[in-house]
Amino acid sequence: MKRFVFVALIIVGLMLLLGGVLVVLGPYLEPRIIPGVWIWDDAVGGLTTVAAPAALTEPDLWITFLGPDGQHWTLAAEELGLSLAPAPTLVQAYQLGHTEEGVAALMARLALLHEGVVLPPVLAWDRAQAVAQLHALAAQIESVPQDADLRFENGELVLTAACTGRRLNVEAALTQLEPLLRLPGSREIALLVEELPPQTDDAEATQALDVAQRILTESLKLLLRNPHEGDPGPWTLSVDSLAQMLTIYVDAGQIEIGLDEVALQEFLLPLAKALHQEPLNARFHFDETTRQLTPVQASQIGRELDLPATVARINEQLRAGQHQVSLVLRETAPAYPATATAEELSIMELVAVGESYFGGSSSARDHNIRLGASQFDGIIIGPGETFSFNEFLGEVTLEEGYDESYVIVGDRTLLGVGGGICQVATTAFRVAFYSGCEIVERWPHAYRVGYYELGGYGPGFDATIYSPLLDFRFVNDYPTPLLIETAVQPATARLQFLFYGQADGREVEQIGPTWGEPEPPGPPVYEYDPELPVGTVEKLENSHAGLRAVLERVVRDAGGNIWHEDRFQSHFVPWVARYRYGPGFTPPPGAEIVGGEP
């Protein structure tokens, strides 16, 4: 018992002595880190906060990254963006033994002297630098997957095998790395490398090779399923042509084999033009007694080549090994089939009439008028459609049945095919005028033509055409279709255009025509012709005085509002008389002589 008390007294004494020493050393320790404090392997106890930073060393930390195929990379802490932060580290060290007071401070300092303490440093981590290092490793690890490939080279199909790629999972590596940065020493991280499979594998490429070989086994023959009489075809694409058009591409991970769609469409375009047939509308007459339509010309269904569907069918059947393929034709229905009724088309009554007279015309001119007018008989102009005289007239040639008669060419009246067609155009202009339809193109004649003033029509109520430069056009601005009928009364030499439809209450006011003073023609022209008999003279053209005329029109709707206001102006130029004379004839004084007798 006495021995125990003795020992205790010694310990207490020593502690009191040490405490006294510490108390005495208090002013000395105040600016210093308490002895016994370490920052990892660095002793900083007894150093002032000013001197302590020099004692700190960067963390001795190494990370080895293990990659595939035995690859490995060892990086130091600083390479991974890790560095020691001196200020917060030393603040943490200084606080030990300094934050307590009195006996508590004395006990804390005694404990540090006796036992010591090792603190982890406060570290700063530049994560972006670590990411950059991992991407640098990725560049050495990663590879792009190679798809199995099939291509056509130098006339041969070449197959390339597929190859798996790989990719470093950088985020997974960062997740593994971060906790290891808090401990000194060396550590290892097995990198997570993911495989990247190719989109197309060898089996798919081999299958595509079989398809390509099937396509190139023989020529392709294109046929019409139900050909019409006179249709062209069949058409053939040789194996060489197929090879040139062959295209191989990857779509949604699948190797697709077929003929290039653009090249195939270019091949099919001439076929499409050859096979195209416009639908033909029926033509009708309106029976005013029964108020029914009677077809006078049947309708005809049109057709056109469906290019996208044909291209798809060719590729589909070629892949299946079929080398005889039917073209895809699409029927196009006429707007007005022969089954259309007056009720369906709202053709209920006579809307307008236009007429002209051609008495005294030559037989050729009479024939051309009748033939030209027949081109317009029975046609239907839908609401909103623009009527073109030239479009419906078609070709005016001897082959189409027209005769030669006098026509105006430049400043001459000469024999030409189709003389008299302007009589038809003038009559069409008049019915359009009286119907109140919008007239969008009308041309006057070069000089006054007597035919167009027969029946009391004044000068300027005419229209001329010269395809394709001059046309007569109007718009059907009725809400319903207009049916055009033409009629010729031989006894009175009268040509009529009749519009049937449904009246909408519009009213047409004609103003004029009015005209000014005649413009006298110049002196007659005499042209020398050495082939004529001696003393002979022939009259080629009569003279015509010039004139300026104006025809106006006001169209009002059912409510009396003005719908159209038109002013049709005509300038008929003076037209000189022309003669042809032979040797020995002397033209009268004042005449213009062309190519006089030598």
For 132-142, the pLDDT digits (tens) are 999 998 899 88
| 337 belongs to a structural domain | no
Burial letters 21-42, b for 16+ CB under 10 A, else e? ebeeeeeebeebbbbbbebbeb
1, pLDDT greater than 70: no
In a domain, 171, yes or no: yes
Asked whether the whole model's pTM tops 0.85, one would answer no
Query: What does the pLDDT average to over 320-347?
Result: 95
- Whether residues 194 and 226 fall in one domain: no
Determine the pLDDT at residue 3: 59
Phi and psi at residue 223, to the nearest 5°:
-125, 165
142 with 83: CB under 8 angstroms?
Answer: no
Please state whether beta strands 562-572 and 494-501 pair in parallel, antiparallel, or not at all (unpaired): unpaired
- At 310, the pLDDT band (50, 70, 90 cuts) reads very high
Instruction: Categorize the per-residue pLDDT at 447 as very low, low, confident or very high, splitting at 50, 70 and 90.
Output: confident
Do both 444 and 544 map to the same domain?
A: yes
Both 137 and 236 in a single domain?
no
In this structure, are residues 214 and 244 in contact, taking their beta carbons and an 8 Å threshold?
A: no
The stretch 316-336 carries a mean pLDDT of 93
Q: Which of 198, 233, 255 is the last residue of a domain?
A: 198
Closest CA to 95 of 37, 135, 137: 37
Regarding whether 53 and 70 lie in a shared domain, the answer is: yes
Q: Residue 249 and residue 80: Cα distance in Å, rounded?
A: 44
Q: Is residue 204 part of a domain?
A: no
pLDDT in tens, 76-105: 988 888 888 888 888 888 888 888 877 787
pLDDT at 20 over 80: no
Give the model's pLDDT for residue 6. 54
- Is the pLDDT reported for residue 46 higher than 90? no
Q: Tokens 């792009």 belong to which residue?
A: 144
Are residues 181 and 253 both part of a single domain? no
Contacts of 99 (CB under 8 A, 6+ apart): none
Burial 475-514 (b: 16+ CB within 10 A, else e): bbbbebbbbbbbebeeeebbbbbbbbbbbeebebeeebbe
Residue ending a domain, choose from 135, 170, 198: 198
Give residue 223's pLDDT band: very low, low, confident or very high (50, 70, 90): very high
CA angle in degrees (0–180, nearest 5) for 340-381-493: 105
* Sign of the CA dihedral with 449 first, then 452, 455, and 461 last: negative
Residue 363: Cβ within 10 Å count: 9
pLDDT score, position 98:
86
Q: What number is the average pLDDT over the span 255-279?
A: 91
pLDDT of residue 159: 67
Shared domain check, 159 and 14? no
Q: Which residue has the higher pLDDT, 383 or 3?
A: 383
Tell me if 287 is assigned to some domain: no
Q: What are 522-561's pLDDT values in tens digits? A: 899 999 999 999 999 999 888 889 999 999 999 999 999 9
Residue 170: inside a domain: yes
Length of the chain equals 598
How much is the pLDDT for 215?
85
* CB-CB contact of 45 with 34 (8 Å): yes
Verify that 505 and 358 share a domain, yes or no.
yes
Which structural domain, as residue segments, surrounds residue 493? 346-594
Q: Which residue in this structure is represented by tokens 């050729």?
A: 364
Q: Does a structural domain hold residue 571?
A: yes
Given this model, what pLDDT does residue 10 score?
59
Assess if residue 203 is contained within a domain: no
Reply yes or no on whether the pLDDT at 494 is more than 70: yes
Pair (14, 111) in one structural domain: no
CB 180 within 8 A of CB 59: no
- 460 phi and psi angles, rounded to 5 deg: 100, 0
Give mean pLDDT, residues 458-484: 95
Average confidence (pLDDT) over 302-329: 94
Q: Say whether pLDDT at 289 is over 60.
A: yes
Q: Which of 238-252, 558-572, 582-596 has the highest mean pLDDT?
A: 558-572
Residues 53 and 88 in one domain: yes
Q: Which has more pLDDT, 421 or 52?
A: 421
CATH number, domain with residue 234? 3.10.20.800
DSSP label of 336: S
Do 325 and 404 lie in one domain? The reply is no
Domain membership of residue 205 (yes or no) is: no
Mean pLDDT of the chain: 88
Same domain, 356 and 480: yes
252, 165: one domain: no
Number of domains in the chain: 4
- Identify the domain boundary among 198, 232, 266: 198
Q: How many helices and strands (H and E) does the chain possess?
A: 13, 37
Provide the pLDDT for residue 60: 81
At 214, is the pLDDT very low, low, confident or very high (cuts 50, 70, 90)?
A: confident
Mean pLDDT of 173-196: 87
Confidence of residue 414 (pLDDT cuts 50, 70, 90): low
Look at the block and give the residue holding tokens 């033994």. 97
